Structure 1
């Protein structure tokens, strides 16, 4: 049984009354939802709040899932809409990477970790920061493909474009991401490739 079939089976059972099975979907997709929410939110707490709202909305509207696409595609739509609504309500300020306190905060959050965990988190943070420097479309494609593990067809469905166009846009977005990383994180990129 593939992932989509397994998700559909869980959804069917939840709708038939086995409500506790929804926790399996939450566990399976929590990182996916949190990653997307983190792109919109300015801090971890807001991203966690958004993620929680997403799963509440998904649970309440589970009967609306038709199965035309994968559950993760449907969940992405809810996540994206919830993030936009959250930002409208909060009117969150976007922090510039040029602000020193952003880096100080990141340094404080890393303290106490073993060296390899700090390095891995630093690389992940660097990539996430570089993604934030991209245009919204580029960031969305990169996030969906690499963090959301969506296929070209699924991304095309989400964005309303042809899968071949997605492939071209993904290639260009990767190139722009590489350029942003080299431009803004030249020393870090050099250390990673050495």
Structure 2
């Protein structure tokens, strides 16, 4: 995942001034910026400010980026720094659970955030490869709180007794999608056992 040729290609094309490549980079990594900002419980206007700062810094640093494949980590680290800068500038107190342990280097936190973002993107791709019926069923089961079986039965015209077996088949199909097969080939993540 870290040597993603798509990312390398997008960075090179964006360096060369190709607007569509820049737009695709922003679209691809805006959710990463947003998720890092949400960890710091920033308000939406603050998230927007941090996002603008991150993209401005990327414009400034893109020509000098030595390893294009390292862009996701660079974005995560830069977003963290911008969040810290904003919090300090507005004299807000950092939430206790966000205080970085001296034993955990900033780079490790950034890498974990990038991996979480990449896994989410892979899962969304795999989910989009499922049939509409499987997407609907899994969405209803995964919403918070999950929909009751009688509601799922009514909405999807499925007998209540077939929801569990259908869920199992849909999850098997999800695991067999090419996108998730690639993720499984990379091995377990840091939070997997």
Q: TM-score, normalised by structure 1?
A: 0.49
The TM-score with structure 2 as length reference comes to 0.49
Give the number of the structure whose residues are more often helix, by fraction.
1
Q: Which gives a bigger RCO, structure 1 or 2 (Cα 8 Å, sep 6+)? A: 2
